[in-house]
Amino acid sequence: MKPHGPDRRRRWALLAAALWVVGLFALSSLPLGGGALDFWWRFPHDDKVVHAGLYAVLGALLRLGSGRAAVAVAGGGLVGVVDEWLVQARVPGRHPDPLDLLADVAGAALGALAVGAVARRRRGRALE
């Protein structure tokens, strides 16, 4: 029997989250210094903003897939640990950074909270 409605959407969200993680790891596998990850804008700690933004998407997808903010934040943190200490640690010019991990977890939390806020707002409109 094929899943319908919310179950189907959750599976698609989890698949999208898995693909997003593959993309994160691929991006983290690129060495720094070659211009591949340079942006036209630069400011102090701008990489933390990029980390938070990328992991906000992951947190949102994990929240949509699991239905729980705690799962989204923990999943984002776990992916961040693997990314920092297993992926980036093996790439020339890159190194694990605890502040990057903090930005990853904060981003995952923001993404999960945003999904929750949108869901609450939709439920509120449905009751009107």
- Per-residue pLDDT tens listing for the chain (128 residues): 555 677 999 999 999 999 999 999 999 998 876 544 555 566 777 889 999 999 999 999 999 999 999 999 999 999 999 999 999 989 988 889 999 999 999 999 999 999 999 998 888 765 55
Give the pLDDT of residue 36.
47
Give the pLDDT of residue 122.
83
Give the pLDDT of residue 39.
58
Please provide the distance, in angstroms rounded to a whole number, between the alpha carbons at the two ends of the chain. Answer: 35
Long-range CB pairs of 17-24, under 8 A, 24+ apart, other chains included: 17/58, 17/61, 17/62, 17/65, 17/75, 20/57, 20/58, 20/61, 21/58, 21/79, 24/54, 24/55, 24/58, 24/79, 24/83
Give the pLDDT of residue 38.
58
Distances in whole angstroms, Cα of residue 112 to Cα of each of 40, 45, 60, 127:
29, 23, 5, 23
Can you spell out the DSSP letters for 17-28? HHHHHHHHHHHH
Round to whole Å and give the CA distance between 89 and 105.
Answer: 19
